[in-house]
Amino acid sequence: MREVLDTVFAENTRLRGYVVDERGSLRKHMTIFVDGQILLDRRSLSDEVGPDSEIYVMQALSGG
């Protein structure tokens, strides 16, 4: 997962700080679905991603 995001961030450098924090961990109220499953490793983004995987990066519901 980290490799995928790094590729995206390389094309859009400003996006990085919106999705991950300065340690590279997923921001608290962001969520990622990989093939319909919620990402397990939010800290290191080590979840396996296949060549045909479908990935959604979403804002989690929160706030008021």
Which residue ranges make up the site for other proteins (CB under 8 A)? 28, 31, 33, 36, 38-42, 54, 56, 58-64
Hey, what are 9's tokens?
A: 């961030």
Phi–psi pair at 5, nearest 5 degrees: -65, -40
Phi–psi pair at 22, nearest 5 degrees: -70, -10
Closer CB to other proteins, 6 or 54, in the complex: 54
For CA atoms 23, 45, 2, 21, give the dihedral sign: negative
Closest distance of CB 25 from other proteins, Å: 10
Closer CB to other proteins, 12 or 28, in the complex: 28
Closest distance of CB 30 from other proteins, Å: 10
